[in-house]
Structure 1
Amino acid sequence: MRIEPKPDQRTTEMAVPNAKTARVDQLPHLDQSWFDQPVRPDGSPQRPEPTKRVDQLQSAPSAPPTPPPPSPSQRPEQQRPERSRPEQTRPVAPPPPPAPAPPRQESRDLPVTGYEEEPEDRLATEEPRKGRKGLVVVLSLVVVAALAGATIYAVQEFGGTKAVETKPPAAPANVQTLVKAVTAGGPAPSAAGVKGVLTGPAGNSALGTLTGSVIDPASGTALWQQGDTTPATPASSLKILTAAAALLSLEKTDQLSTKVVAGAEPGTVVIVGGGDPTISGVPGKSVYPGAATLDDLVNQVKAKGPVTKVQFDLSRYAGEALGPQWETADIAGGSVAPIVPFMLDGGRVDQANVNGVRTASPGQAAADAFAQRIGAPGATAGAAPAGAALLGEIKSAPIEQLVDNMMQISDNVLTEAIAREVALKTGNEASFAGGVKAVRDVLTKAGFDLTGANFVDGSGLSASNKIPAKLLTDVLTAAAKPTLDDARTGKLRPLLTALPVAGGSGTLAGRYGGDAASGRGWVRAKTGTLTGVNALAGVVVDVDGRVLVFSFMSASNRNPETEVRPALDVLAAALRGCGCS
């Protein structure tokens, strides 16, 4: 800050502490500074009257010399317009020898805004007060030191000839990989080596009748076979076939669309089921990532006008809503709901409970929820008029994500919905029979041998489904080939990442402890469970970094929780420990 001198004053640079102050060079000439007060005979300046803060004072216009003003309590407040002067820069001149300054007639309190009231000796030291010269010298040194510090800071922060020395970067960290890369260049496994590690685990009596196969996808070599062409019940491992058919026939970015159109009468709307069973009925509470929400659909329709009547159209699907040999007890058990093209949360009553109870009338329940939120009476079944105006639309997550989700949580309802989309894509009826035919047609066209395969649904819930273990390993081998020279591999690759991880995700999250612990994180597989049936099919990386494909199906009456499934896990974990060249 710079103080603008009057003709009878000398220029002095003065540092003012950082506070909420008015710039002194913007203030009019006011009181005589403490440093300009008459000097006492002992050489010390007279003390000024106590000062007030700027916000407590008003400036007054200049006036000819007058007698000393009255005390602050007697003097009325005065105002005058503030004058601004251009800021000038003058060099600091050495102070002349001290001389008593002529007394000034004008005296007012010089304000300093923003300070708290402090003791009068705020600027004094323990030594006796000295004259103006000594203070000027001290303050000049303070200003010089401050300028020097600011200069150093500026040089260091903003550069200069020797401001900052650039140091060379630190040497790269010595990274030692703990996981070997998956490659076809490692030692090739041999049939003898694989047989050696599987003989013991495969002989576990808890497995009952065991069929299966192990294949090296890099070479296509069968490394282990045990009844691999004999049809057996796959349970939910059948979902591998439905997922493969969907990835081969549908675009990965396809979405399932649910619409609301205008009804035949004013105020009537019709919900047209588009095959998406993942619509979320409660925001933030769903087992389906990326699901569309019912509230979004309701809000779109509300914006188009009042609704007095709600209908729902389920004509997208044909045939029975429950699959062959499905049991109605499975609805309350949480395994399945009737398959219709419009429902919320896969028909679950508790939206966040994967295995929770489902409703026996998912279409009606979903339509009633829509009607309640839009302010209409309960919904009724109806048909959408041809060419009806679109009032709202929501879309599911992409097909690739739906496939991933259905495999992770082994969702039967979502699997059957996807099988029907494959049926519609291939010109078949959107029913259980049409979905099965579509899956078979797509896989056969892709070159897979379905000899001995006989299934009646897409999810594997029916106990009458029979397929050979070799069909599962054939499909997984096509997905796991190290190169993309097979046209099927690029399309089927997402099938591998959709498989649950041992001890980490999906239906394998709580498995692979005890003797199977070595497979944690290395095995990815689809599970299958029905009464007396357990299956496991997937891929594993062995200690040499080679990918092995396997499928195991067990028919056993032993305890599935404590005996059969742990025995299957040990089989797959044994392949992980295989240095089988």
Structure 2
Amino acid sequence: MFGRNKQNIGGLEAKRRRRIWIIVSSVLVLVLVAAASVVAILKPWTEEFRHGGLTIADPPWPVKPVPQVAPAPVTAPAATTNGLTAALAPVVGNPDLGIFAGSVSDGDTGKVLWTMDADKAMIPSSTAKILTTAAGLLALPDDHRLTTKIVAGATPGQIVLVGGGDPTITAQPDGKGYYPDAPKLQDLVAQVKASGQRVDSIVVDNSAYSGPNFAPGWETSDIAGGSIAPMDAVMIDGGRLDPLVEYSPRTPTPALDAGKKLAAELGVDQAKVTLGTAPAGAAQLAAVQSAPLRERMLQAMVHSDNVLAEAIGREVAVASGQEASFTGAVTAMSTVLQAAGFDLAGLKISDNSGLSTEDHIPPRLLNRVLTVAALPANADAQGNSAGGQGNSTADPASDKAGGSPLAPLLDYLPVAGGTGSLANRYVDRDRDGAGWIRAKTGTLSVSSALVGYVLDRDGRVLTFALMSNDRPPEVSRPALDAVANALRNCGCS
């Protein structure tokens, strides 16, 4: 939306400049004619200026910033089930939604207000990242970092690049790769050189991850399509062949390619780069750390980065005592969420990004995670209403003294018409939702979804999970946007 406005402004400026040149020639005559009278007016001022008699006014008072974003009013009337049902009826019956299921709750009380097949297990596509991020917030400190090391090898002249699960390292000459604040390959190179270690060969240790590096339900065509790379424990710019392009084709051998990039920087023959493991107790020669977890979760959510989401899932697995594999990450995520009080009935997933077509999540669960994130401190959940989960005495994952630890999740969601995967939606249609709806998108060839929250016309926070299956995204996404837009326009008290 902002890019479009900028272009429009640029076009107006160009037209304005052309008009100025046209007008100047006709106005110039009038200016010359008026010059004599203008001199008579200016002359006393100019004489006074020459003799130092000009009085300079005091500087203007400083401009004070005025906040433009205000919290939702605590006095906003609550939406009702009848009001929401009436508001949504014209849009939820759209055949473009295909197989549709959804759930809407009050963000202040947690009460479920509207459902449609909310327990139906749906292909979630990238909205599955909500569960991965929630588990990350519950299981890890938000400043957690991953370390990539270089250690001495088993033979003289050999070094080992030891992956620590960080896919964000960049080899860009200026250190500015795809991910903000990413660790730099050049820093590893500089440390190795400073150590005085002779380097003739490089081993890449990928053993921090175990099991297959490609999940069930993934398509190998998505590697060339730029949606995913095989999950190795070390990567350069998420395995992108063009480090600065979001959906650049990815490499099918990320760890080996990282070793070859390191070899190129150290002047080592790339034929002498192999996969292997570091010797026990090897001396460390160099190390770099990832950006904090909170920054990586933000990138994974706003830009729907599948590689980052999978890496975060393994990070949760390691913290939970599980193996860093697809199975371990899914098990850890489920265990963390269940321990926090969430009802996982109907959940069946094979990965942590939602790229797998074998994933199934009921909208009830996704909406409940967002509701708990939105609940204010000391709120009482009323999730039993309308088939919801929860109870009247305790909120899942809630800290009564300070609100939910899931609250940061709300800030990780794209803004309709403004950021990330929602930047180009709510621009040409359903514009009432632009800037008001924040939601995680999900898009596969057979699935589209929106899970997030919105301020309705009465100023009340509504959380929602809207899921469509069996329609192509170019058909279902506009229909989903219309449903969320109806929530924004709802004065449903």
What is the TM-score with the length of structure 2 in the denominator?
A: 0.81
Counterpart of 1:343 (choices 228, 232, 235) is 235
Query: Aligned pair in 2 of structure 1 residues 262, 241: CA closer, same or farther (>3 Å)?
Result: same
Query: Aligned pair in 2 of structure 1 residues 191, 427: CA closer, same or farther (>3 Å)?
Result: same
Counterpart of 2:473 (choices 553, 560, 568) is 560
Between the aligned partners of 1:426 and 1:556, the Cα distance in structure 2 is 36
Q: Does 2:220 match 1:328?
A: yes
More helix by share: 2
Q: Which runs of 5+ in 2 are unaligned?
A: 1-50, 380-397
Between the aligned partners of 1:178 and 1:393, the Cα distance in structure 2 is 43
1:326 CA displacement: 1.4
Query: Aligned pair in 2 of structure 1 residues 357, 300: CA closer, same or farther (>3 Å)?
Result: same
Instruction: State the match for 2:16 in structure 1.
Output: none
Query: Aligned pair in 2 of structure 1 residues 364, 335: CA closer, same or farther (>3 Å)?
Result: same
Q: Does 2:177 match 1:286?
A: yes
1:247 CA displacement: 0.7
Instruction: State the match for 1:404 in structure 2.
Output: 298
Aligned residues of 1:181 and 1:545 also touching (Cα < 8 A): no
Aligned residues of 1:180 and 1:544 also touching (Cα < 8 A): no
SS at 2:405 equivalent: helix
Instruction: State the match for 1:249 in structure 2.
Output: 139
Which one has a bigger Cα radius of gyration?
1
Aligned residues of 2:444 and 2:473 also touching (Cα < 8 A): no
Counterpart of 2:185, as a letter, is L
Instruction: State the match for 1:120 in structure 2.
Output: none
Cα deviations by residue, 1:45-81 (Å, 9 ceiling, x for unpaired)? xxxxxxxxxxxxxxxxxxxxxxxxxxxxxxxxxxxxx
1:204 CA displacement: 1.3
Counterpart of 1:467 (choices 354, 361, 368) is 361
Between the aligned partners of 1:321 and 1:179, the Cα distance in structure 2 is 44
Counterpart of 2:458 (choices 525, 544, 562) is 544
Aligned residues of 2:110 and 2:372 also touching (Cα < 8 A): no
SS at 2:466 equivalent: strand
Instruction: Give RMSD over aligned pairs.
Output: 2.4
Query: Aligned pair in 2 of structure 1 residues 377, 478: CA closer, same or farther (>3 Å)?
Result: same
Counterpart of 2:164, as a letter, is G
Counterpart of 2:218, as a letter, is W
4+ residue segments displaced more than 3 Å: 164-167, 169-175, 177-181
Instruction: State the match for 1:129 in structure 2.
Output: none
Q: Does 2:280 match 1:390?
A: no
Between the aligned partners of 1:532 and 1:315, the Cα distance in structure 2 is 34
Between the aligned partners of 1:258 and 1:416, the Cα distance in structure 2 is 17
1:308 CA displacement: 1.6
Aligned residues of 1:312 and 1:367 also touching (Cα < 8 A): yes
Matched pairs, number = 419
More RCO (CA 8 Å, sep 6+): 2
What is the TM-score with the length of structure 1 in the denominator?
A: 0.69
Cα deviations by residue, 1:123-174 (Å, 9 ceiling, x for unpaired)? xxxxxxxxxxxxxxxxxxxxxxxxxx99x9xxx9xxxxxxx9999x979989
Instruction: State the match for 1:299 in structure 2.
Output: 190
1:325 CA displacement: 2.1
Matches within 5 A, 1:505-544: 505-544=419-458
1:285 CA displacement: 4.4
Cα deviations by residue, 1:79-134 (Å, 9 ceiling, x for unpaired)? xxxxxxxxxxxxxxxxxxxxxxxxxxxxxxxxxxxxxxxxxxxxxxxxxxxxxxxx
Aligned residues of 1:273 and 1:342 also touching (Cα < 8 A): yes
SS at 1:515 equivalent: coil
1:248 CA displacement: 0.5
Instruction: State the match for 1:452 in structure 2.
Output: 346
Aligned residues of 1:184 and 1:482 also touching (Cα < 8 A): no
Between the aligned partners of 1:296 and 1:209, the Cα distance in structure 2 is 51
Cα deviations by residue, 1:7-60 (Å, 9 ceiling, x for unpaired)? xxxxxxxxxxxxxxxxxxxxxxxxxxxxxxxxxxxxxxxxxxxxxxxxxxxxxx
Q: Which runs of 5+ in 1 are unaligned?
A: 1-148, 157-163
Counterpart of 2:155 (choices 265, 269, 272) is 265
Query: Aligned pair in 2 of structure 1 residues 179, 292: CA closer, same or farther (>3 Å)?
Result: closer
Instruction: State the match for 1:57 in structure 2.
Output: none
Counterpart of 1:494 (choices 363, 387, 408) is 408
Instruction: State the match for 2:326 in structure 1.
Output: 432
Instruction: State the match for 2:245 in structure 1.
Output: 353
Cα deviations by residue, 1:350-382 (Å, 9 ceiling, x for unpaired)? 111111100000111010110111112221112
1:456 CA displacement: 1.0
1:180 CA displacement: 5.4
Between the aligned partners of 1:403 and 1:183, the Cα distance in structure 2 is 29
Aligned residues of 2:377 and 2:399 also touching (Cα < 8 A): no
Between the aligned partners of 2:62 and 2:278, the Cα distance in structure 1 is 69
